[in-house]
Structure 1
Amino acid sequence: MVAPDRDGVDFYRTARHRPPAPPLRAHMARAFEGSPERWAHHFAALLTTSPDSPLHDGRWVLSPDPPLRLRPNHPQGESPGEYWRSLLVEGDPDGYIEWFIHNGSWEILPLRAMPDADDPRVKAYRKQARDGVLPPVLLWWVSGLDCHLVLDGHARLAAAIAESVEPAVLELQRTVPQDEVDSGTEQAVATYETELERFTALRAAQGPRVPDGAEFAGPALARRLDELRTAHRPTWAWPLPGGVREWDRIAREQVGEGGWEYG
């Protein structure tokens, strides 16, 4: 439920989440060591076949370099463990996502309670973290929450935090439709060619003091093509199975007869 002042959203976890990937074995972690591309292909194959995958119609990007690593205004000298722990949304099973606390989409919402550092699975992953072979955490950016969800890898993220190492991360996001990519690419290339012609004419009239057109227009073209390839698009959502009646039942169980206010 979005807050009335639009500064955040309430959430409630139903304990129905099932990760799209089976447990990752140690031999695979060592075989894929240092290869985010191989992990991306591995998870992409699982996401396209798993019944628990969130994929729906559209184009999707699986990126090894999410913007979470670039959160502004975090304290200087903060350890990796402190940094990634600060991104986790608290609350189990319910809580509140504050949209302005980090001035952007910097929070991470676990889809189940984070395991303790001494959990057996976390202990196994902590050794992999120390050895530098910890598999990546799969995050899913959801536009309606304006944050990332831990789609797979709660224990791996807990291990990285416990060992205070930078976790490998893959970010899943819905991106620009192919027809928009094609038309946008044509427009961007046409703009680039027009700029080259303009600078060629200027250099012919004013001499070499006019900068080279490719140096001026090339970076803008590269940025636009990257935006077309990776820009976020809204995430689809579906009502809770059972509809309003089921939502009301859960609300009464969790917060009393008054339930939540929602529209």
Structure 2
Amino acid sequence: MQRSDVTRDDGTWVGLSLDVRDRRQPELCVFSTGPRLLISQLSRPVLLAVVEEPLQGVDFWRTDEYRSFVPPLRADVGRALSGSPQRWAHRFARYLIDSPGSPLHEGRWLLSCESPLPRWRHAATSHAEYWSSMLVEGHPDGYIDWFLHSTSFEVLPLRPMPGPGDSRVKAYRKQVREGTLPPVLLWRVSGLDCHLILDGHARLAAAIAESVEPPLLQLHRTVPHDDLAARIDDAVGFYEDELERFAELRAVHGPTVPDGAATAGPQLTRLLHDLNTAEQPTWAWPLPGGEEQWHHITREVTTGKGRLPPAIEPEGGNGPVAKAPTVK
């Protein structure tokens, strides 16, 4: 994997670009069959979901099988890297590529500190209230409401959030007060239209308990290499066309017409920056066995777990079934 820092024109660090090669299917993988989704980690079902028609939300069932690929982060590491999202990004990038259970697959990714989530908090709303409202509730089942939370991209924990009395949360609350809390690692999954917590459930709980904005690192796909050169050519072509258009206007109306560089130059800069940062849809792999396999897996992980949401209810009910084939 190749890593490169992404910065703005003024040198402000935006994120870390990850160029992943020879990794065709990730170990934390999104599978799809029609409106049904399955997120699987190391062949273990983590999340079952059904997109509701007419695209107003998602019913989900969360298992307790998710395991973070990030090892426990010691307090001395938090102090050493505090205040440097860039250094944290390089550290998390190493875990993403080297540890089992990561969502990385071949292509270009961005690990960025510029998540859109903090932007929507109203100044009169406390951090505790806002971030609590952004968490998708429910375990093992719940609902991601696209209608109520349109474009707000809520945060879906991959395991139940610990309470303020949890020992890990208490330890992290001390780091919050010291200003050394490690960032929460999020993965933007377009098929769910929300962010999944890959690592940092207890850290987010600690930030909410202390009513401070949690430090975030967001992972998402960016423009793949196959498209990058063509899109750069398009952006440069647009810039050249604009300069030519202004030149023609100057030839007719005289030198009072600007040469266009002051307008086209910043546009070109924005276009080139977006090619390194713009989010691309999350890849989903066809589920082997299709809808029938999805129902098999659903029966296996939900049998004996009580009444299920109608959308998740497997065909044939919750009666005993043969062991479902493992997803590979």
TM-score normalized by the length of structure 2: 0.74
| Partner residue in 2 for 1:125 | 172
What CA distance in whole angstroms lies between the structure 1 residues aligned with 2:108 and 2:304? 38
Check 1:191–1:9 CA distance in 2 against 1; reply closer, same or farther (3 A cut). Answer: same
Aligned to 1:165: 212
Q: Which has the higher helix share?
A: 1
Higher strand share: 2
Shift of 1:213: 0.9
1:97 CA drift (Å): 0.2
Q: 1:100 to 1:122 in 2, by over 3 A?
A: same
Partner of 2:299: 248
Kindly provide the CA deviation profile for residues 25-74 of structure 1, in whole angstroms up to 9, marking residues without a partner as x.
11111111111100000001110111110112221110101111222xx5
- Counterpart amino acid of 2:101? D
In structure 2, the CA distance between the partners of 1:255 and 1:224, relative to structure 1 (3 Å rule), is farther
Letter in 2 for 1:236: W
Task: Letter of the 1:16 partner, please give it.
Answer: E
Give the Å deviation of 1:219.
Answer: 2.5
State whether structure 2 residue 59 is matched by structure 1 residue 10: yes
**Structure 2 spans left out of the alignment, 5+ residues:** 1-49, 316-328
Separation of aligned partners in 2, 1:114 and 1:121: 11
Unaligned residue ranges in structure 1 (runs of 5+):
none
1:262 to 1:220, Cα distance in 2 relative to 1, 3 A: farther
Superposed CA deviations along residues 113-161 of structure 1, whole A, max 9, x for unmatched, are 0001111111111111111111100000001100000000001000111
1:240–1:156 Cα change, 3 Å: farther
3-state secondary structure, aligned to 1:253 = coil
Whether the 8 Å contact between 1:123 and 1:159 is mirrored in structure 2 is yes
Separation (CA, whole Å) in 2 of partners of 1:184 and 1:262: 44
1:110, distance to aligned residue in structure 2 (A): 0.4
Name the counterpart of 1:260. Answer: 312
CA contact (8 A) 1:251 1:260 kept: no
- Answer with 251-260 or 112-121: which moved more: 251-260
1:63 matched to 2:112? The reply is yes
- Number of aligned residue pairs: 261
| Residue identity opposite 2:71 in structure 1 | P
Indicate conservation of the 8 Å contact 2:299/2:314, yes or no: no
**Aligned-residue offset at 1:255:** 4.6
Give the CA deviation at 1:82: 1.3
Q: What is aligned with 1:54?
A: 103
Deviations 1:218-240 (A, max 9, x none): 22212222222222222233549
Which residue of the partner structure matches residue 32 of structure 1? Answer: 81
Shift of 1:204: 4.1
Q: 1:95 is paired with a residue of what secondary structure?
A: strand
Answer whether contact 2:89 2:111 (CA < 8 A) is retained. Answer: yes
Deviates more, 1:56-65 or 1:89-98: 56-65
Q: Percent identity?
A: 56
Q: Secondary structure at the match of 1:118?
A: coil
Is 1:175 matched up with 2:227? no
Residue type at the aligned position of 2:312: W
1:79-118 aligned within 5 A: 79-118=126-165
Cα distance, 1:102 vs. partner? 2.1
Query: Which amino acid in the other structure matches residue 144 of structure 1?
Result: G
Given that residues 176 and 233 in structure 1 are in contact (C-alpha distance below 8 angstroms), is that contact kept between their aligned partners in structure 2? Answer: yes
- Distance in 2, matches of 1:169 and 1:125, equals 15
TM-score (norm 1): 0.91
Q: Is the 8 A contact 2:114 2:217 kept in 1?
A: yes
Q: 1:100 to 1:208 in 2, by over 3 A?
A: farther
